[in-house]
Structure 1
Amino acid sequence: MTDRRTVPGLREDAGHATAEDGVVILDGPNGVAVTMTADAAALTAERLHAASLLAREQMAAAKPGSEGSPRA
């Protein structure tokens, strides 16, 4: 598993999404900005949610003493 302390640019602040003139604008950290159709934004949201659930499971499994984590 990747050590979170060594991931360059890892952010803990969330992006901000708005709807304007029928499109979704996602403003993220470091000046990242993406404009998407409503359908593309919805699919992106679903994929981000699924990935966040998996990442949380991975973090829980990596904690010492949890099932599936390597023992020291």
Structure 2
Amino acid sequence: MTDVSAVPQPRADAGTASAENGLVVLDGPDGVAVTMTPNAARLTGQSLISAAQCAEQQAADQGEIGND
């Protein structure tokens, strides 16, 4: 049986991006940090925006509120 408390839950707090020495650092919750090239960060940002729009539409279609 899976312990429900051990299953990761969606986060409502946003990560914070910063530029350091020509790289982009994304700091997330619980000490998560990712360092990316500017191009990788740009592509990640575009992908996140696209996925967020899709998720918002899915939530709207299901009659749920997807905004925090």
Q: TM-score range by the shorter chain?
A: 0.7 to 0.9
Aligned-partner residue type, residue 60 of structure 2: A
AA in 2 matched with 1:20: E
For residues 1-72 of structure 1, the aligned pairs below 5 Å read 8-63=8-63
Letter in 2 for 1:11: R
The normalised TM-score by structure 2 is: 0.80
Structure (1 or 2) with the larger CA radius of gyration:
1
4+ residue runs over 4 A deviation: none
5+ long unaligned stretches in structure 2 = 1-6
Normalized against structure 1, the TM-score is what?
Answer: 0.76
Q: Secondary structure at the match of 1:35?
A: strand
Matched residues, percent identical? 53
